[in-house]
Amino acid sequence: MMRDAAGDIIYVGKARSLRQRVRSYFNQSGDSRYHVKFLMAKVVDIEVVLTDTEKEALLLENTLIKQHHPRYNLDLKDDKTYFSLRIDPHESFARFTIVRKRPRDGALYFGPYSSGSAAREVLRQMIRMFPLRHYPLGTCMSRKRPCLYHQIGQCSAPCHGLITQEAYAVLVDGAMLFLEGKGRQLVAEFKRRMADASEQMLYEEAARWRNLLRSIEVTVEKQKVVLNCGDSDIVGFYRDGSRIELALLFIRAGVLSGSRLFNVSWELDDETAISAFLQQYYAGAVFIPEEILLPLDFDGRTALAELFGELKGSKVSLLIPQRGTKCELVALAGKNAMSAYQERDGKEAAAEAVLVELSKKLQLGRIPQRIECYDISTIQGRFSVGSCAVFTAGKADRENYRHYRIQTVIGQDDFAMLREVFLRRFRVDNRENVILPDMVVVDGGIGQLNAVQKILEELGLAGSFDLVSLAKSRVLHNASESAVSKSDERVFLPGRKNPVVLRQNSKPLLLLAAIRDEAHRLAIGYHRKLRGKEGLASGIEKIPGVGPKRRVALLKHFGSLQRIKEATFEDILSVPGMNRTIAEAVQRGLQDD
């Protein structure tokens, strides 16, 4: 573990011979790579931990990287937010749901899918073939009859006992095989079941298997076998300086079924990058195939394969193919990685060009790499909130979004609320640790701009960053014209009375409008959330004896405040955690409300 002058761990590494590895970092003739010299210029201390086996070293390295997030270790981040389909086979009448996170909770996850709409489309097609339930079991069982999905043949209605648990489990197994890309195995199994049902003269059941087969075979026919093997992942690698693009191709049952991209910054060697990537990716709750094909070798490959085998529960091989189809697939993954890098590089260059153009048009003091926009949302001074939307390098930086509950302003005073938000955002006692924006966008005209400028002067921030305001376009009413016309959106600058009118639908103006709309959306969303909580509290939480647990139990059982109001005393009493006294208080309190 290499530490800098502040004592922080900046790099964690492992090797069979630490003496040889560390010596190479200090030996100029042994390692001339610039990034190693850059790392060693910051190292003032090295701490060593010995382990008995390579596998223990792998586990310790992974633990330390997660704990300390060293600057010079690989920080694996996805190129986008992915969605997955989740199912828990141990659940009674299991169903698929769309999720973002994949914790190790015993459930199975399929994907990833690049967007929620893509995941929903896969789920929609699958449920047409496998009629699994759509809603929570409790919600379905509260209905007097099966839902519309059962009537159109897309739900087997387990909530009303129209399918046995064993038959439903067969559907679940079939759906999972389909999502794993094992369509041919699924077709063979369903053909066998159709034949068995036909021999036993269960013709309705045989017809059901026949219909399932028809819909599955249409999909399976479109797939082409690329490997005569089981499941494999192929790693593609492309590097330009410290920027690395990684591509994963997924082979399931010999069929290319999908891909995934990763973009990272890395200062050290390629072998260490590949090893670190594999450790971080497969340590998560992802499917581990029998075979992982790699573009290059690295130290500790055997130990890593052993570790993955323990996670999977069966043997896992890490291979570096030298010829044949597998070698061609590794080359294909490399082409995917290079293409993704070039596409990403082009987008970043285009975004940079927009920022440069914006800086020139508005005569800014700097190129606005970090832009912040603030907005206030309130209704007559109630549930007042502020929001801060952040764009970095021309893209939404949602990790740095912030919202503020207004605490010191009573009544309708937007400027005072905005002043409170700025005071909390740029606190004097914490200003050294705060990243200042390059530009702040204010929603409004010259009046809002001047008010914010005064606030910044009070805080001693005048000139610390550029300040602009963006006034929305207005509808121009003209009785003599039948068509409705709108004014241009205008940009106001400090010290200038007349606005700057950017070309409508130009990229700089669209960027400013996007961050303004994002700040407005963020403020409105938080405002509605607070209103909803307050409305709920006024209905339930103010009743003596009803705390957070009972409130959650009531809402989980009935689904809404209105249904609780309509419920009978016996219905409320049947909720877990309720007694007669509290049930009477709930019914009486809601009726009074």
The answer to whether position 154 is within a domain reads: no
Question: Do residue 296 and residue 418 come from a single domain?
Answer: no
Question: Do residue 450 and residue 572 come from a single domain?
Answer: no
DSSP code at position 302 = H
Name which of 14-18, 105-109, 538-542 the model is least confident about: 538-542
User: What are the helix (H) ranges across 376-506?
Assistant: 414-425, 446-458
How high is the pLDDT of residue 77? 60
The answer to whether position 186 is within a domain reads: no
What is the CATH number for 551? 1.10.150.20
Q: Which domain holds residue 13?
A: 2-68
Question: Do residue 465 and residue 389 come from a single domain?
Answer: yes
Mean pLDDT of 497-505: 85
- Count of CB atoms situated within 10 Å of the CB of 71: 14
Q: What is the share, in percent, of the chain residues with pLDDT greater than 70?
A: 82
The answer to whether position 362 is within a domain reads: no
Question: Do residue 257 and residue 333 come from a single domain?
Answer: yes
Question: Do residue 302 and residue 337 come from a single domain?
Answer: yes
How high is the pLDDT of residue 165? 85
- The residue type of 319 is L
Give the model's confidence band at 440: pLDDT under 50 very low, under 70 low, under 90 confident, else very high: very high
How high is the pLDDT of residue 515? 92
Q: Say how far apart CA 268 and CA 247 lie, in whole Å.
A: 19
Give the model's confidence band at 292: pLDDT under 50 very low, under 70 low, under 90 confident, else very high: very high
Residue with tokens 């907005």: 375
What would the DSSP string read from start to end of 132-148?
---S-HHHHHTSSS--H
Q: Say how far apart CA 66 and CA 427 lie, in whole Å.
A: 31
How high is the pLDDT of residue 371? 93
How high is the pLDDT of residue 319? 93
Give the model's confidence band at 330: pLDDT under 50 very low, under 70 low, under 90 confident, else very high: very high
Name which of 112-126, 257-271, 417-431 the model is least confident about: 112-126
How high is the pLDDT of residue 431? 63
**For residue 6, pLDDT beyond 80:** yes
The answer to whether position 577 is within a domain reads: yes
Kindly state the helix (H) or strand (E) to which residue 236 belongs, with its residue range. strand 232-240
Mean pLDDT of 480-495: 72
Q: Looking at 520, 551, 574, which one is the last position of a domain?
A: 520
Mean pLDDT of 580-584: 83
**For residue 443, pLDDT beyond 50:** yes
Beta carbons of 513 and 490 less than 8 angstroms apart: no
298-329 tens-digit pLDDT: 888 988 999 899 888 889 999 999 988 889 88
Question: Do residue 301 and residue 388 come from a single domain?
Answer: no
Q: For residue 11, which of 65, 76, 77 has the smallest C-alpha distance? A: 65
For 349-416, strand residue ranges (E) read 370-379, 382-392, 395-396, 402-405
Point out which residues pair with 385 in neighbouring strands.
377, 405
Q: Say how far apart CA 30 and CA 507 lie, in whole Å.
A: 50
- Rounded to the nearest 5°, which phi and psi values hold at 376? -120, 140
**For residue 395, pLDDT beyond 80:** yes
Number of structural domains in the chain: 4
Question: Do residue 317 and residue 422 come from a single domain?
Answer: no
How high is the pLDDT of residue 79? 44
For the stretch 297-303, contacts whose Cβ atoms lie closer than 8 Å and that sit 24 or more positions apart, written own/partner, are 297/271, 298/271, 298/272, 298/274, 299/15, 299/16, 299/271, 299/275, 300/14, 300/16, 300/54, 300/57, 300/58, 300/275, 301/275, 302/54, 303/53, 303/54, 303/55, 303/57, 303/58
What is the CATH number for 317? 3.30.420
Q: Say how far apart CA 123 and CA 128 lie, in whole Å.
A: 9
- Count of CB atoms situated within 10 Å of the CB of 134: 18
How high is the pLDDT of residue 35? 61
Q: For residue 51, which of 10, 12, 3, 25 has the smallest C-alpha distance? A: 12
Question: Do residue 392 and residue 468 come from a single domain?
Answer: yes
Beta carbons of 215 and 128 less than 8 angstroms apart: yes
Mean pLDDT of 370-384: 83
- Count of CB atoms situated within 10 Å of the CB of 217: 15
Per-residue CA distances from 346 to 77, 263, 337, 352, 360 (Å): 20, 14, 14, 10, 21
Beta carbons of 491 and 499 less than 8 angstroms apart: yes
Q: Could you give the dihedral angle defined by the CA atoms of residues 504, 508, 513 and 514, in that order, rounded to the nearest 10 degrees?
A: 130
* Range of 13-22, 45-54, 470-479, 506-515 with top mean pLDDT: 506-515
Q: Looking at 18, 34, 68, which one is the last position of a domain?
A: 68
How high is the pLDDT of residue 391? 94
Which is higher by pLDDT, 31 or 473? 473
The answer to whether position 48 is within a domain reads: yes
Per-residue CA distances from 402 to 230, 374, 399, 518 (Å): 47, 9, 9, 12
Point out which residues pair with 372 in neighbouring strands.
390, 440
Question: Do residue 264 and residue 382 come from a single domain?
Answer: no
Per-residue CA distances from 149 to 95, 157, 443, 589 (Å): 14, 9, 46, 38
23-82 tens-digit pLDDT: 877 776 545 455 666 778 888 999 888 888 888 888 888 788 878 888 887 776 654 456
The answer to whether position 133 is within a domain reads: no
**Model pTM?**
0.59
**For residue 90, pLDDT beyond 60:** yes
Question: Do residue 423 and residue 314 come from a single domain?
Answer: no
Question: Do residue 470 and residue 551 come from a single domain?
Answer: no
What is the CATH number for 389? 3.30.420.340
Residue with tokens 């405040």: 561
**For residue 526, pLDDT beyond 50:** yes
The answer to whether position 514 is within a domain reads: yes
Q: Say how far apart CA 568 and CA 144 lie, in whole Å.
A: 18
The answer to whether position 516 is within a domain reads: yes
- Rounded to the nearest 5°, which phi and psi values hold at 175? -65, -40
Question: How many CA atoms lie less than 13 Å away from 368 in the CB half-sphere?
Answer: 30
Question: Do residue 509 and residue 554 come from a single domain?
Answer: no
Name the region of 300 (left: φ>0; alpha: ψ -120 to 50; beta: rest): left
Per-residue CA distances from 29 to 32, 33, 429, 583 (Å): 6, 10, 48, 80
How high is the pLDDT of residue 533? 61
Q: Looking at 39, 68, 97, which one is the last position of a domain?
A: 68
